[in-house]
Every structure is written in structure tokens, then in C-alpha cells.
């Protein structure tokens, strides 16, 4: 998987039009719009895609304070009848009770099959609203308006939706593609530094798994990505590269029967730590991905697939931006190796009880490793817990 790191050529400085990335799925192809102020076109685009549609905005209480009034006004200006429903913020809302509440809100708003659900928020809202959209009336169309960096580069694209089970992350859900994604980079200005850093882990992941030039570009330009603002296009460039990479993978393997599994680099370890931390503020999803990517490269080095210097390069970059790279970086600690192995055994990539990991032969050279020896993984985790 490769992508150009010269996205700025698509959008010269001073150009107001957003970058457009297409997710090519035959008759279900949809666009991702990336740029500051891109949200202004939401109403017009909905009227073009679904003339006469009503909408319901699903969001969380934090995002609602920052962005709901703007979205309401944009829809009203386009003559679109809209209602909204806000849930509590955080990973804890990806549960059965909140999923039920969102479904009931959609039904109560009399959203019909020709209408639209709008997911306004980060990855939690996209997953939750998308799964409800896949379920209510056996399938409603929906639009993703991601407001976090993590959602803009990853979770809003590709149609994975779902909620968590007590036994693991994202174990209940459906593939359900949006009809439009609007990634307004100005919305990222309201993120806390910690939330933005967590999202950056998914940005770096795209370089690590299949785009070595992009990872090298990030090593040299990450501070500009963090700085953002109207004067810099580095943030838009990074988001567009990630979206192009993911769009290419999704178009070739929509339901994760092969290549798409590579997008889970860092997630098998990461999800176990996230579950072990109780899906709490102790460890955000992106922070877990950072730790997971570091461990995936260190485990690859342990197996002789990459050199220690490569694993060290990955760890050094993620640590330089302030992301966790050691088990000891998780506040409050994590479960022991046996419990972590129980959580890993619930990973969605497990096949007939055999562990599957995304490992690497170098930066930008990830691959799917089937039938990984559980004893080897347990020993590796025990070593990391003790170090």
C-alpha cells in the first residue's frame, strides 16, 4: 500500500476548495471532503445526494457544545428538517444501552429509509451512529462528520461500525458504508492536546504499515501537523494521505477478508490493553494503538523480522510526540500476561483459535502473520510487563 505524500499539489496555498478523496465501491462510491470550513457544504451536499430528506444528528455532549449549533444552522439554511440526540462522551457509550437509546431516538424522530443519520463526533459516535443506521429499519443511509483526528483519518472511512462487549472491543457491529464524509480540519482546533496526540497514532500507523516515505515525512513534519491552523496545509496533507491509503484498501477488500486486516497494525495488542484499562480515560484508543504499534515492531524484532534499530525508530518517533510506547506508560497499570492473553484470544482476527497478528519486515512493510504461537506472545508480554 503506497500513497503520494505530495497532496499539497492538489490544493495550492490560498485555495478554499477542500481536497476530495473517493472511496471507490462501484455503485456505492462516496467522497471524503477534507479542508478547513468544509462543513459549510453539508446542507447543499445532502440536498444533492438525498433531495427532501430529513436528518437526525447523533453526537455527544462535548461535541454538541462546540459544533452542534453550527451544523443545525447549516442544515436549516438549506431547508433541511433536523433533530439531534446527544449521548455521554467517551468509549463507555459504545454499549448496548446507549445503542438502544440511539436507535429509539432515530425511530422517534420518524427517520425513514429515504432520510439520513448524521454522525457528528469522534470514533465513538461514528461507530455508534453507524451501527444504529445499519440496524434501524434494516438500514438507513448516514453521513460521517468526524470531529477528531482519529476519526478523520481512520474510523469515519470504510464502513466499520459497532459497539463493545464486556468481552472485547468492537465485537458487535456491522459493515455499513456512509454516503459522504466531511472532515472539516477546523473542528480539530477544539481538541485537547491529548486527544490530538491520540489521533496522531493512527496517522503514523499508515506510514508504518504500508507507506515508508509518508512515515519519513511525518518524522520531519509532525510539528507542523500538530500546529495546524489556516496558514499551514500540513495537517490537511497528512489527513488526505491517510484517507487515500485507507480508501484504496477498502475498495479492494471492503469486508476484511485479506489486505484490510493490515489496517489493524497495533490493534491486537492495543485492544487488549484498552480492554484491560476498562475502556476508560486511563488509556485512549489512539494511545493504545501507539503502544500496540511499538509492541508489534518489537515483537517483529524478537522474531528476527526487523532489526532492533527499526523497532527503536518507531518507538522514538511515537515517544517524541508524547505517545505511550511502554506498558509502564499506562496510568494505573495493566492486567497480567495471562489476562492480556485472554483478551487477545477474543480479537476478531482469531481464526479457529489461532492467533493472527499484524507484524512487519520493516517500516512500511506490514504483513498478516497467521498462527502466531500464543506461548511466544505470552512470554513477550511477560517480559514487557517486568521491564
pLDDT at 281: 92
Q: What domains lie within the chain, and their CATH numbers? A: 7-204 (3.40.50.1970), 265-386 (1.20.1090.10)
Per-residue confidence (pLDDT) for residue 2, from 0 to 100: 53
Against a cut of 0.75, is the pTM above it? yes
- Identify which of 330, 255, 246 has the alpha carbon closest to the alpha carbon of residue 292: 330
Confidence of residue 8 (pLDDT cuts 50, 70, 90): very low
**Per-residue pLDDT, 27:** 80
Going by DSSP bridges, is the β-strand pair 30-35/19-23 parallel, antiparallel, or unpaired? antiparallel
Mean pLDDT, the chain, as a whole number?
93
- DSSP type of residue 18: P
Helices (H), the chain: 42-49, 61-63, 69-77, 96-108, 123-135, 149-150, 193-210, 212-227, 234-252, 267-276, 285-302, 308-320, 337-344, 374-386
pLDDT given at position 121: 98
d(CA 143, CA 291): 31
Residue 223: count of CB within 10 angstroms of its CB? 10
Q: Is the pLDDT of residue 241 over 90?
A: yes
pLDDT of residue 7: 45
CA distances from 315 to 268, 283, 363 (A): 17, 18, 12
pLDDT of residue 377: 96
| Nine cell digits for residue 382 | 511477560
Which pLDDT does position 96 carry in this prediction? 97
If you average pLDDT over residues 53-74, what whole number do you get?
98
Give the integer Cα–Cα distance in Å for 95 and 172. Answer: 9
**Please, what's the b/e burial string for 328-358 (b: 16 or more CB within 10 A of its CB; e: otherwise)?**
eebeeebbebeebbebbeebbbeeeeebbbb
The alpha-carbon radius of gyration of the chain (Å, integer) is 20
pLDDT-derived band at 71, boundaries 50, 70, 90:
very high
Report the alpha-carbon distance of residue 113 to residue 356 in Å, rounded. 38
| pLDDT tens digits, one per residue of 168-227 | 889 999 999 999 999 999 999 999 999 999 999 999 999 999 999 999 999 999 999 999
Residue 16's pLDDT is 64
Is a pLDDT exceeding 80 seen at residue 1? no
Give me the pLDDT at residue 194, please. 97
User: What is the rounded CA–CA span in Å between residue 101 and residue 60?
Assistant: 13
> What's the average model confidence in pLDDT over 312-338?
97
The predicted pLDDT at position 213 comes to 98
Per DSSP, 355 falls in state E
With a cut of 50, say whether residue 9 has pLDDT above it: no
Amino acid at each position: 500500500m503506497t500513497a503520494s505524500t505530495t497532496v499539497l499539489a492538489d490544493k495550492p496555498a490560498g485555495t478554499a476548495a477542500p481536497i476530495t478523496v473517493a472511496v471507490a465501491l462501484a455503485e456505492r462510491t462516496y467522497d471524503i471532503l477534507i479542508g478547513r470550513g468544509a462543513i459549510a457544504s453539508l446542507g447543499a451536499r445532502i440536498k444533492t445526494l438525498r433531495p427532501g430528506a430529513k436528518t437526525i444528528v447523533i453526537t455527544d455532549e462535548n461535541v454538541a457544545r462546540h459544533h452542534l449549533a453550527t451544523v443545525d444552522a447549516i442544515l436549516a439554511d438549506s431547508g433541511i428538517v433536523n433533530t439531534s440526540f446527544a449521548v455521554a462522551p467517551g468509549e463507555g457509550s459504545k454499549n448496548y444501552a446507549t445503542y438502544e437509546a440511539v436507535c429509539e431516538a432515530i425511530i422517534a424522530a420518524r427517520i425513514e429509509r429515504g432520510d439520513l443519520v448524521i454522525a457528528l463526533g469522534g470514533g465513538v459516535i461514528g461507530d455508534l451512529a453507524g451501527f444504529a443506521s445499519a440496524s434501524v429499519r434494516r438500514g438507513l443511509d448516514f453521513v460521517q462528520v468526524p470531529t477528531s483526528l482519529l476519526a478523520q483519518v481512520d474510523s469515519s472511512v470504510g464502513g466499520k461500525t459497532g459497539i463493545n462487549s464486556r468481552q472485547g472491543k468492537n465485537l458487535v457491529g456491522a459493515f455499513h458504508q456512509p454516503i459522504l464524509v466531511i472532515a472539516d480540519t477546523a473542528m480539530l482546533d477544539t481538541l485537547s492536546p491529548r486527544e490530538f496526540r491520540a489521533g496522531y497514532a493512527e496517522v503514523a500507523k499508515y506510514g508504518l504499515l504500508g507507506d515508508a516515505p509518508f512515515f519519513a515525512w511525518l518524522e520531519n513534519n509532525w510539528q507542523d501537523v500538530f500546529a495546524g491552523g489556516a496558514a499551514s496545509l500540513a495537517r490537511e496533507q497528512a489527513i488526505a494521505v491517510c484517507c487515500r491509503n485507507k480508501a484504496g484498501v477498502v475498495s479492494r477488500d471492503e469486508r476484511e477478508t485479506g489486505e484490510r486486516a493490515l489496517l489493524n497494525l497495533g490493534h491486537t495488542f492495543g485492544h487488549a490493553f484498552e480492554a484491560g484499562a476498562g475502556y476508560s480515560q486511563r488509556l485512549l484508543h489512539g494511545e493504545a494503538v501507539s503502544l500496540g504499534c511499538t509492541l508489534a515492531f518489537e515483537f517483529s524484532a524478537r522474531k528476527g523480522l526487523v532489526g532492533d534499530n527499526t523497532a527503536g525508530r518507531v518507538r522514538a518517533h511515537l515517544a517524541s510526540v508524547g505517545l505511550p510506547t511502554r506498558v509502564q506508560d499506562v496510568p494505573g497499570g495493566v492486567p497480567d500476561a495471562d489476562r492480556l492473553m485472554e483478551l487477545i484470544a477474543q480479537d476478531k482476527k482469531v481464526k479457529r483459535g489461532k492467533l493472527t497478528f499484524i507484524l512487519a519486515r520493516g517500516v512500511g512493510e506490514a504483513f498478516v502473520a497467521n498462527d502466531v504461537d500464543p506461548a511466544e506472545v505470552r512470554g513477550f508480554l511477560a517480559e514487557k510487563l517486568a521491564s
